[in-house]
């Protein structure tokens, strides 16, 4: 970060710090460097490629399902994964896997986005729904349990739904769009709740290796703001509304706190 | 409105009636839970005789459940358990209590005094007078040079503290006022300037706040060792520790976190003990209120409003605590699952004047000793253990002392405290108190000496100095 400050001062010369050719279009949230769009795409994609290669996330020939919700993280993930798969010859068979929790006004809209992604990125799509798997939609569940602890129910059901969808697609691995902000919030949340078991697992880039299907998080070191910036500049199609039950979530405390921290330093 | 619950916070008429009738059990209305009955009858849960601290139904859970005496006994019990199970204070000790004027340190001082008085009475009553009474001193770090409080306010506060300490006698306690500039060896005329420049050299708000805290600790250590104290008591309570846990997590200080939150911290020259570790700030506040300690308001302001990230964390934890009163304990318990360091236990006492029961207790509660002697280095600024792989090899930086110093600091201090460019760093190094600088050299020698002792009998010649 300190490097970024001195570089930013030098960039009063009004050129991108990385290529020194084009005009800067943005200040990079991670390093505060002033860079142009193309350089941003390059560093963004290259860093993710390094994370994938450095952590040995995939093997050639694997069938990989991308957890797709239609939100910015999964849309950018689908875009970047197919791009890197092509560019660096990962040799992966990619699929989109989406979960319908049955939340009216939220999930039904985002599913439309995923269906468009299927066409745009040319990746086969499978949708699994809570109603089909369990006989319950989230709306029905919330009517019974009230507005607290919804995420707990939804999260447990979702993980199993993803497992089942992955088994149906016969994939070897699942990737999700969890970013650095998500993981920071999760670490904090687990400390606050005293969940030592989860605390020891939650920072691994690959989890569930001993379970039905391993899951990995290529965006583990990527800032949420950079994902949004990438989607914005590339004009990617995504659904930008939050789950209607999220204002009551405990995670909200952690998220607010982390946003305040970032404003400070 | 009909009210069935003894915990009802609204001032409904039932509670008012109950408050008036505290000696005669009032007829219960509705609840068949035994405990609730007694609350409705306005009687302490423990002694079942006196009224609870707040019988109007308001106040926290504890205030509505216990009377003043039982509450105080509970709290003192937690303090005493911490002290005895970790052998924090033995008869031969000379204990220095760090006193900031805030609530927690006031309670720590009171409890240590109560314990000392008890020991004194036992000593006078015993026939053979075999067990001496431990000594107690009080130290206040005067940061008026570096803070924005006026000299008059600080003087007034110091006078109040002096009279407080005078009242806590017999046994008599010495009161030390430790100005921040005392870190510099006496005789240097420009110590105040140096200190101001040193602190001014830290840009980051949070870094400055933390740096001041580290300097405060070094000042306490200095006064403790110069005056022959064997233990340093801090009033760190559960709430402050919870804030520290979150702070260490967000500042990337995770490696050293477990060192700071244990009952005992023996990496310092004068070991630090935290007897109030299991008490929450709320409990301490209640005690101060009911016992009329009050606290020194001016200094309260400085201590309780840290700036930067520390301030943000204080308000965050307070918010969480309001939402769930057991949050602070959960945070501390979670962090307590981290493995402590080898120096988080007091060295086994070989003193024959210490009763056998104390020795046995220490052995039982003491953490498992680590097999090898750790060759850990410590950051010269914050004294946190540094992973050896983070340090460069010795030879490369010798010619430039300030660079060697900077490289020996922990990553966190390097990031938020040390100036980034070379010339500012050189100046920063020149402004540091001599004690801090020479420490970083001594520690390495200590470790080497310890290792040498172990293999001394197999060493052949004296010319084994290949370093």
Mean pLDDT of all residues belonging to chain B = 80
Please count the other Cβ atoms lying within 10 Å of the Cβ belonging to residue B179: 18
Which among B268, B280, B254, B301 is positioned nearest to B104, based on CA atoms?
A: B280
Instruction: Give the model's pLDDT for residue B17.
Output: 42
Chain B: nearest CA to A196, how far in angstroms?
Answer: 7
Instruction: Give the model's pLDDT for residue B18.
Output: 40
Instruction: Give the model's pLDDT for residue A36.
Output: 93
Contacts of A193 in chain B (CB under 8 A): 330, 334
**Measured distance CA(A161)–CA(A128) in Å, rounded:** 7
Q: What is the mean pLDDT of residues B285-308?
A: 69
pLDDT digits (tens, 9 = 90+) for A55-90: 999 999 999 999 998 889 999 999 999 999 999 999
Tokens matching residue B402: 């300030």
Q: Out of A10-14, A208-212, B187-191, B318-322, which region has the weakest mean confidence (pLDDT)?
A: A10-14
Chain B: nearest CA to A203, how far in angstroms?
Answer: 13
Number of Cβ pairs < 8 A linking chain A and chain B = 48
Q: Nearest by CB to A192, which of B309, B330, B415?
A: B330
Chain B: nearest CA to A244, how far in angstroms?
Answer: 22
pLDDT digits (tens, 9 = 90+) for B109-122: 999 999 999 999 98
Q: Out of A33-47, A127-141, B26-40, B408-422, which region has the weakest mean confidence (pLDDT)?
A: B26-40
Listed by number, the residues of chain B in 192-211 with a beta carbon closer than 8 Å to a beta carbon of chain A are 204-206
Position with higher pLDDT, B283 vs B10: B283
Q: What is the mean pLDDT of residues B283-301?
A: 72
pLDDT digits (tens, 9 = 90+) for B355-414: 666 666 656 555 444 444 455 789 999 999 988 766 665 555 556 788 889 989 999 999
Q: Out of A94-108, B122-136, B192-206, B386-400, which region has the weakest mean confidence (pLDDT)?
A: B386-400
Q: Nearest by CB to A192, which of B312, B331, B420?
A: B331
Mean pLDDT of all residues belonging to chain A = 89
pLDDT digits (tens, 9 = 90+) for B62-100: 778 888 889 999 999 999 999 999 999 999 999 999 998
Instruction: Give the model's pLDDT for residue B445.
Output: 58
Position with higher pLDDT, A96 vs A242: A96
Instruction: Give the model's pLDDT for residue B1.
Output: 45
- If pLDDT is split at 50, 70 and 90, which confidence band does A243 have? confident
Instruction: Give the model's pLDDT for residue B357.
Output: 61
Domains in chain A: ranges and CATH: 59-258 (3.40.50.620)
- If pLDDT is split at 50, 70 and 90, which confidence band does B209 have? very high
**Is it the case that residue B153 has pLDDT exceeding 90?**
no
Contacts of B319 in chain A (CB under 8 A): 253
- If pLDDT is split at 50, 70 and 90, which confidence band does B305 have? low
**Is it the case that residue B35 has pLDDT exceeding 90?**
no
Instruction: Give the model's pLDDT for residue B129.
Output: 80
């Amino acid at each position: 970060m300190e490097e970024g400050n001195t570089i930013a001062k030098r960039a009063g010369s009004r050129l991108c710090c990385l290529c020194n050719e084009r005009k800067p279009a943005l200040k990079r949230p991670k390093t505060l460097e002033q860079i142009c769009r193309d350089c941003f795409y390059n560093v963004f994609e290259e860093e993710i490629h390094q994370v994938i290669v450095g952590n040995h996330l995939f093997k050639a020939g694997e069938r990989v399902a991308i957890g797709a919700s239609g939100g910015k993280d999964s849309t950018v993930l689908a875009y970047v994964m197919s791009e890197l798969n092509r560019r660096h010859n990962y040799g992966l068979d990619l699929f989109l896997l989406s979960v319908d929790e049955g939340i009216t006004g939220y999930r039904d809209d985002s599913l439309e986005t995923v269906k468009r992604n299927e066409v745009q990125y040319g990746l086969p799509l499978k949708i699994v729904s809570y109603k089909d798997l369990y006989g319950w939609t989230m709306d029905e569940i919330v009517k019974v349990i009230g507005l607290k602890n919804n995420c707990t129910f939804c999260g447990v059901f979702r993980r199993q739904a993803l497992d089942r969808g992955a088994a149906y697609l016969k994939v070897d691995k699942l990737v999700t769009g969890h970013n650095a902000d998500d993981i920071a919030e999760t670490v904090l949340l687990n400390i606050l709740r005293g969940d030592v078991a989860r605390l020891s697992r939650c920072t691994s880039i690959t989890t569930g290796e001993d379970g039905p299907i391993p899951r990995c998080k290529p965006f583990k070191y990527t800032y949420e703001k950079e994902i949004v910036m990438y989607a914005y500049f590339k004009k990617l199609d995504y659904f930008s509304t939050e789950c209607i039950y999220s204002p009551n979530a405990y995670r909200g405390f952690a998220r607010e706190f982390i946003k305040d921290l970032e404003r400070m330093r | 409105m009909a009210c069935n619950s003894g915990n009802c916070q609204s001032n409904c008429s039932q509670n008012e009636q109950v408050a008036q009738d505290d000696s005669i059990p009032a007829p219960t209305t509705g609840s068949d839970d035994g405990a609730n009955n007694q609350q409705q009858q306005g009687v302490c849960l423990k002694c079942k005789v006196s009224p609870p601290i707040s019988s109007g139904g308001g106040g926290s859970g504890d205030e509505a459940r216990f009377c003043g005496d039982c509450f105080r006994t509970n709290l003192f019990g937690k303090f005493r358990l911490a002290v005895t199970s970790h052998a924090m204070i033995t008869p031969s000790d000379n204990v220095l209590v760090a006193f900031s004027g805030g609530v927690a340190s006031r309670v720590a001082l009171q409890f240590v005094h109560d314990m000392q008085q008890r020991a004194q009475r036992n000593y006078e009553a015993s026939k053979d007078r075999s067990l001496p009474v431990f000594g107690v001193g009080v130290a206040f770090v005067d940061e008026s040079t570096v803070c924005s409080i006026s000299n008059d306010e600080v003087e007034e506060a110091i006078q109040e503290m002096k009279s407080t300490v005078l009242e806590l006698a017999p046994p008599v306690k010495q009161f030390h006022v430790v100005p921040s500039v005392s870190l510099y060896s006496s005789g240097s005329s420009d110590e105040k300037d140096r200190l101001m420049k040193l602190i001014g050299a830290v840009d980051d708000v949070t870094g400055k706040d933390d740096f001041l805290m580290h300097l405060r600790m070094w000042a306490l250590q200095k006064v403790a060792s110069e005056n022959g104290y064997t233990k340093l008591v801090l009033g760190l309570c559960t709430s402050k520790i919870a804030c520290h846990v979150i702070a260490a997590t967000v500042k990337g200080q995770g490696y050293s976190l477990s060192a700071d939150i244990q009952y005992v911290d023996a990496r310092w020259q004068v070991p630090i003990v935290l007897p109030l570790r299991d008490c929450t700030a709320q409990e301490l506040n209640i005690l101060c209120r009911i016992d009329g300690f009050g606290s020194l308001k001016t200094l309260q302001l400085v201590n309780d409003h840290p700036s930067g990230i520390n301030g943000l964390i204080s308000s965050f934890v307070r918010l969480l605590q309001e939402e769930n009163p057991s949050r602070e304990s959960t945070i501390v318990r979670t962090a307590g699952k981290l493995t402590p360091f080898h120096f988080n236990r007091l060295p086994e006492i070989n003193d024959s004047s210490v009763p056998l029961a104390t020795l046995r207790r220490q052995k039982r509660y003491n953490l498992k000793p680590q097999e090898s002697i750790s060759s850990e280095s410590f950051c010269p600024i914050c004294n946190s253990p540094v992973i050896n792989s983070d340090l460069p090899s010795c030879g490369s930086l010798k010619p430039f002392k300030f660079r060697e110093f900077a490289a020996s600091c922990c990553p966190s201090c390097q990031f938020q405290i040390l100036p980034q460019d070379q010339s500012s760093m050189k100046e920063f190094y020149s402004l540091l108190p001599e004690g801090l600088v020479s420490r970083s050299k001594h520690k390495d020698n200590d470790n080497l000496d310890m290792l040498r002792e172990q293999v001394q009998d197999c060493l052949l010649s004296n010319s084994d100095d290949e370093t």
